[in-house]
Structure 1
């Protein structure tokens, strides 16, 4: 009896093992079927790059979007705007009229321009995502997600880091270039200015125009004049990677040497990496534009194909400095950071 019980027991265990193996095999087959190649290939999207083709910042965004299109199979039309807000708004109007499945939109034109078009898109069943500059009114009223740095917190953190890193003190003077007249877009640079003022630093705010992002050399006479008018300025904060990458040009035009003025701003690029290497740039806040290209397309695909909720990601990643810039140098040269 003992022997028979042992055999029966073994057979029962074996049956369980075989049954478990069969179930695992079935589950494995189910899981394999769930993994879809080019799962978003039937979806047609429009993606706003923001800048012109070849633009330093826009190229990284574009590369992220192209990688997402390649990975998902999505059909994507890319829209280049040269950072011109009115042009971008007209292009969004045309995009809604073309009725794609989804639109990934730069928030630069501002809420007043974007909201009515976002509402029209929602009526037509077009999904929308936003990148780089938030459009909270549109997200609140008609939905969508935002991929980009949170403007005011990122800017404020940069100002705090400037005071700490460079030992700025009460009575020191810094020039902060504002990005535009839009309150939401300017929140980043205003955040930097307020943090500097909280540290006792006197701040001179300098207005800019969107065209400087497309051609940073247009800012040369304004920046050199500001430095001449404020000869005690210890630092200058630029509103984008295009201008920060052009810091050497501005400083040479003003007769300054590397390190004589602290040049600070946002983003990374091959030009900014070179400026770190040659001593013209001392600090930048990274906002990972590759993610601002990749994640909006991924999110639109997930919403349209799988019915998932929009993705919201703060892409602010910290600071690039003379001590760590080499870690991103090769990726920046490739147009990925």
Structure 2
């Protein structure tokens, strides 16, 4: 299965460059500022729910939501966004959306087993469901119509190859939510191409704890010369842990935000693997509009990949303007 994924992506290679605050209770979205959207279609106005596993304070989700809002504005959609990092609570939010009679649902599947019943309840009521960001291995067998995101394992392999090319000797891969299928897949991919990798589980809901845990690990094992974080806020925290520990370890990461731009420019963070979250949010909403209004299904039964691509000093200037605008 892994081989087939690699074969599927090999023809295209890695993408070089890809094309704010969130509420836990949903409701009418705030006005989008820039970031595309264009004119509004004249199709009937419908309501679509987007339900994610966002941890409050993680700026990654601002990009997801901004893309979703841009598509909703263009497509004359009322977008109801809600989130909860605990899978049973997220499933309850999906069920609430089903009970309210929304026209479609876009959902992340970080813990697919916990989401299965609610997703299938939507499908039984004829409500189309698309998945994005997490659940690349589970969406199809759950009956979900489309998936938008990167393959975490392939992205991890790319990061591991980068470590090897840079001459790293030992790395830690920092997982901020144990059991999250996509995060686990990323670290498994890193270890596949860079075997001298050890997973380090941290509590992503407590950033001071993240900092102290990474610091302690670096002090305990001075041979660690690379930290791979799985989110921009955790990468920025890891740079402080490096200083705390008096370590010379370098930091690379998955995902971006505006603050990470300066960190890459000044060398605190070496690179970021970008899965284009704005694009994920945009495509999730836009695909539901296409299905509802024209019966279109994107991807031919295969995941639509939005990454991985690398952002580093060689191309950060091209990304910086978009990052400051909140779309990269």
The TM tier, using the shorter chain, reads: 0.7 to 0.9
Structure 2 match to 1:45: 48
Structure 2 match to 1:19: none
Cα pair 1:247 1:281 within 8 Å, conserved: no
Displacement after TM superposition at 1:41 (Å): 4.0
Whole-Å separation in 2 of the counterparts to 1:98 and 1:218: 39
Cα pair 1:159 1:195 within 8 Å, conserved: yes
Question: Would you say 1:228 and 2:225 are equivalent positions?
Answer: no
Query: What pairs with 1:290-329 in structure 2 (closer than 5 Å)?
Result: 290-311=278-299, 312-329=303-320
Cα pair 1:41 1:72 within 8 Å, conserved: no
Cα pair 1:134 1:148 within 8 Å, conserved: no
Query: What pairs with 1:3-42 in structure 2 (closer than 5 Å)?
Result: 37-42=40-45
Whole-Å separation in 2 of the counterparts to 1:295 and 1:182: 22
Cα pair 2:155 2:308 within 8 Å, conserved: no
From 213, 229, 242, the counterpart of 2:233: 242
Structure 2 match to 1:22: none
262-271 or 37-46, which deviates more? 37-46
Cα pair 2:159 2:190 within 8 Å, conserved: yes
Structure 2 match to 1:29: none
TM-score by length of 1: 0.79
- 1:246 aligned counterpart, secondary structure: helix
- State the structure with more CA Rg: 1
Cα pair 1:49 1:62 within 8 Å, conserved: no
How much is the aligned-residue C-alpha RMSD, in angstroms?
2.1
Structure 1 match to 2:8: none
Structure 1 gap segments, 5+ residues each:
1-35
Structure 1 match to 2:277: 289
- 1:273 aligned counterpart, secondary structure: helix
Whole-Å separation in 1 of the counterparts to 2:292 and 2:206: 37
Displacement after TM superposition at 1:237 (Å): 0.8
Structure 2 gap segments, 5+ residues each:
1-38
Q: 1:195 to 1:232 in 2, by over 3 A?
A: same
Q: 1:55 to 1:185 in 2, by over 3 A?
A: closer
Query: What pairs with 1:103-252 in structure 2 (closer than 5 Å)?
Result: 103-108=105-110, 110-164=111-165, 166-168=166-168, 172-178=169-175, 179-197=177-195, 202-209=196-203, 212=204, 214-252=205-243
Q: Spell out structure 1 runs of 4+ moving beyond 6 A.
A: none
- 2:45 aligned counterpart, secondary structure: coil
Question: Would you say 1:98 and 2:92 are equivalent positions?
Answer: no
